[in-house]
Structure 1
Amino acid sequence: MTSNHDYLTAARRTITMEAEALTALTERLDEQFIRACELILQTRGRVVVTGMGKSGHVGNKIAATLASTGTPSFFMHPGEASHGDLGMITRQDIIIALSNSGETHEIIALLPAIKRLGIGVIAITGQVESTLGQEADAALDSGVDVEACPLNLAPTSSTTTALVLGDALAIALLEARGFSAEDFAFSHPGGSLGKRLLLKVADIMQTGDRVPRVGADASLQEALLEMTRKGMGMTTITSTEGHLLGVYTDGDLRRTFERQLDLHSARIRDVMHSGGKTIDPGALAAEALFRMEQAQITSLIVAEQDGPILGVVHMHDLLRAGVA
């Protein structure tokens, strides 16, 4: 079945209209946003996000983003709240209520009970002069001139502005709390994200006899045998105290052949690269991956500053760990 409908024009118009709504939102940010941030930072409990319909879906995402960025939060359905779920709220909590009209019945019905508990309310609404806007301790204006929907009915631009206001709150609070990558990782221990943020080089590096190493007086042939045995495409050259003197790689071997050196008589100290790229065992495995990609190499020597070699981390180690 074919159609003459211009899908791309509709899509581009929608994106343009929502982008314009966000530009207008940026210009409307004022002291109310600062007030909202301060209220949340002063809260000893959790942020309880609530909203009906599409606002509820946006609220769910806002609660999840806040929780993962250092602000304990959960979503409460306003319809269920009036039938018992209001008991989830404590006097130490604060409410973020979403309603484009600011007159959503299920939200307004909760306000007297919330006020009796002495809980602060932050409104995200398209009508700051509405009942919700007037009752709130801070009212964030998510209003739009027109929805991206050509009928001006389906919540589109308005849900986008509400969602972005939630993200703006989360990031402003994250920065105010000094929330770090390590803090973020503890909220995301599962999957590749957690591995990238939590896994240390020391957790995955090769150690002991698995580390390819020869002394500076070793022959080139001995170094090649060590490279073959350990299967990392390189070997370290170390001092008698175990400190790194240099490295020799598969690439160096190709260059050695070009020089037509005798593999039996040549000494590794004469063909090695002095020094080598190292990484601290306490560094994130993700940092090791970044350094390898930047230098276009497949392994890093693990050592503390001015200390002996502790191990080697290879690209294969990162792949097995799910970091790469």
Structure 2
Amino acid sequence: CLSCKGRIVVTGMGKSGHVGSKIAATLASTGSPAFFVHPGEAGHGDMGMMKPNDVVLAISNSGETSEIITLLPVMKRMRIPLITMTGSPTSTMAKAATVNLHAGVDEEACPLNLAPTASTTAALALGDALAVALLTARGFTADDFARSHPSGSLGKRLLLTVADVMHTDDEIPVVGPDTSLSKTLLVMSEKQLGMTIVIDENNYALGVFTDGDLRRALDKKLDVGNTKARDVMTGSFKSITPEFLAVEALNLFETHRITALPVLGEKGDLVGALNIHDLFRAGVV
């Protein structure tokens, strides 16, 4: 499978087919392009989905599945390598294979020893082992995994950046250093990000005004009309840059017990704002 230049075509009938579908999905999501083909449909046109540079993984506990055996001469003619996963190394399929993976069990878990139970579990485990061996050999990374799972929570944690979820332009709560406390409070309330960012005339962040700063101002009974933003802002504040992963922003929020961050550009200028609830909405949390 590792030297395969094409895809891994997985096939199986009945319960082995269900196991094969899962194995194909696991292979595809871990760096080994794969898909499932129903052997019955393959005999009626879907063989056209297979190409000479593919590898076929055929699953059958008995190794005598007629729908798959019918396909063997065509695979041989196309010079498609065949890997079988069977419970009988002397079966027709095993003997025809380039490689046979033995997945035999002494008996099924079914009290009648009829329903595929232990045998399907063994095949599924062997398929997972094959997928893990391949991803290890390929040097498959967490970033690779994220690229094949962009809609899942894992993919979002590994792919989404601060730039993807931050607020920009008019959504950023900003005031000047000489803005009154009353106006600063109004901006914070309107933008609903839990902070107001105090900037200078060059759009550089001088400080932030948060809920905590508001509580301290109220404790001091400051005059909201005459007090300036510069008087109540926190000048030493945490910030982040757009290229950071959103999950790294989450770690920053949790480590410092804060809920909002200014986003600064390469030159230190203000380019965005981020609230922890943005990460919830994006599915990072």
Corresponding position of 1:250: 211
Match of 2:3 in 1: 42
Counterpart CA distance in 1 for 2:241 and 2:135 is 28
- Greater CA deviation, 102-111 or 181-190? 181-190
RMSD: 3.0
Residue by residue, what CA displacement relative to the aligned partner does 1:261-287 show, whole Å, maximum 9, x if unpaired?
Answer: 444454544543334333332334454
Query: Is 1:87 matched with 2:48?
Result: yes
Cα distance in 1 for partners of 2:42, 2:234 equals: 68
Query: What does residue range 172-187 of structure 1 map to in structure 2 within 5 Å?
Result: 172-187=133-148
Distance in 2, Cα, partners of 1:241 & 1:110? 72
Which is richer in helix? 1
Q: Match for residue 196 of structure 2? A: 235
C-alpha distance in 2 between matches for 1:189 and 1:311: 24
Residues 69 and 170 in structure 1, CA contact (< 8 A), matched pair in contact too? yes
In structure 2, the partner of 1:276 is 237
What displacement does 1:128 show?
A: 3.4
Give the gaps of 5 or more residues in structure 1.
Answer: 1-39
1:171, CA displacement in angstroms? Answer: 3.1
Taking structure 1 as the reference length, the TM-score comes to 0.74
Secondary structure at the counterpart of residue 11 of structure 2: strand
Residues of 2 paired with 1:299 and 1:144: CA distance? 57
Q: Does 1:67 align with 2:31?
A: no
User: How has the CA–CA distance of structure 1 residues 63 and 231 changed in structure 2, closer, same or farther, with 3 Å as cutoff?
Assistant: same
After TM superposition, give the deviation of residue 219 of structure 1 in Å. Answer: 4.4
1:15 is aligned to none
**Structure 2 partner of 1:133:** 94
- The within-5 A match list for 1:132-151 is 132-151=93-112
- Asked if 2 retains the 8 angstrom alpha-carbon contact of 1:195 and 1:322, the reply is yes
After superposing the two structures, state which structure 1 stretch, 245-254 or 197-206, moved more: 197-206
Q: 1:158 aligns with which of 119, 124, 140?
A: 119
Q: How many residues are paired up? A: 285
Q: Distance in 1 between matches of 2:180 and 2:144?
A: 49
**Structure 2: how far apart are the matches of 1:153 and 1:170?**
28
Contact 2:194 2:275 in 1 (8 A): no
SS in 2 for 1:273: coil
Does 2:37 align with 1:76? yes
Per mean C-alpha deviation after superposition, the further-off stretch among 152-161 and 87-96 is: 152-161
Contact 1:244–1:275 (CA under 8 A) maintained in structure 2? no
Distance, in Å, in 2 between the alignment partners of 1:262 and 1:128 is 87
Identity %: 58
Moved more, 270-279 or 110-119: 270-279
Matches of 1:94 and 1:293 in 2, distance apart? 48
The match for 1:224 among 179, 185, 188 is 185
Q: 1:243/1:140 Cα in 2 relative to 1: closer, same or farther (>3 Å)?
A: farther
Q: Distance in 2 between matches of 1:218 and 1:89?
A: 69
Q: How many angstroms does 1:95 deviate by?
A: 0.7
Structure 2 runs not aligned, ≥5 long? none
Deviation at 1:211, TM superposition (A): 1.1
Distance 1:46 1:144 in 2: 29
Paired letter, 2:56: I
Deviation at 1:239, TM superposition (A): 4.2
The separation in 1 between residues aligned to 2:142 and 2:204, in whole angstroms, is 32
